[in-house]
Amino acid sequence: MSQLTSFLLVLSLCAFAPLCFSGKTKRGYLYPQFYDHSCPKAQEIVRSVLAKAVAKEARMAASILRLHFHDCFVQGCDASILLDSSGTIVSEKRANPNRNSARGFEVLEEIKSALEKECPRTVSCADLLAIAAKESTVLRGGPSWEVLLGRRDSRSASLSGSNNNIPAPNNTFQTILTKFKRQGLDIVDLVALSGSHTIGNARCTSFRQRLYNQSGNGQPDYTLDQSYAAQLKTRCPKSGGDQNLFFLDYVSPTKFDNYYYKNILASKGLLNSDQVLLTKNEGSKELVKKYAENSQLFFEQFAKSMVKMGNISPLTGSRGEIRKHCRKVNS
């Protein structure tokens, strides 16, 4: 069945479902049934390969989730982050937010290889990453959602976009919110999506300034619990140990839950960008409190915000391509 026929079928199925086209964009539609006929086992294949990788290393779930976030904030959700440098392409992997920290590329290539075997040149790397982000969340005990599909892959990357658009751990609250708003996301999305820090790790270099020199005056960040700070200092010295890893959520580091928000309320958010959700804005402070009290509310909003983020400027129709290998454009 052609994609047009498949699309018309979806139209008829959606006649009585007003939320069916929550994926409408300025340039086309994304919809969950996109591969139902062209590659019906797509999501099952992603889930299967990813489950093995996460069973081998729990941290991989957070790494994949982060890749989707860093992809969508640069040129939209187009798998540009997966491209290696070649010819005119300067890889986003070299950008400050990704260098020495973005990981999981080999797992995505393994998934892509399995998809190519099942249905060649059909499932985009951008869609693969969107599905993998959802499955990563579910594998660690988090919420599920219906992934909207139909994205295509970019033929370019943007090093400057990565450096400028992705929020940094030491950004001010206002800068982070501005970067979210630039993508069509709001303060609710910001606080909910930050909850992905309930799993995964951060490097010493990402929060060192909080321990020793928060404001350039040689003083630590006093919004950080001092006993927790003392514990962090043992493995994050003033100099050296840049790559030493620390759990973002020290209470339940591999479980997707709402302890991230409870930690923030206890002044034990690891990154500056975590703690400012409580200390720098009344609206975000109230949301942190709500999500700390009610994990169901957090899960529901996280799912909604992930769908919204996954809908940032996708390439659809004949724009872009379906890459055969995620790390390089088709020749």
Name residue, tokens 């007003």. Answer: 18
Find how far residue 235's CA is from the centre of its chain: 27
Contact 161, 98 (CB under 8 A): no
- Distance between CA atoms of 261 and 250, rounded to whole angstroms? 12
Could you list the active site residues? 70
Q: Encode pLDDT of 64-82 as tens digits.
A: 999 999 999 999 999 999 9
CA distances (Å), origin 16, targets 11, 19, 97:
10, 9, 43
What mean pLDDT, rounded, does the chain reach?
92
- Look at residue 32 in the predicted model and tell me its pLDDT: 96
- Tokens at 183, concatenated: 């993508």
- pLDDT classification of 236: cutoffs 50, 70, 90: very high
For the segment 273-290, the average pLDDT, to the nearest whole number, is 97
Contact 143, 137 (CB under 8 A): yes
Q: What is the DSSP letter of 89?
A: B
- pLDDT classification of 29: cutoffs 50, 70, 90: confident
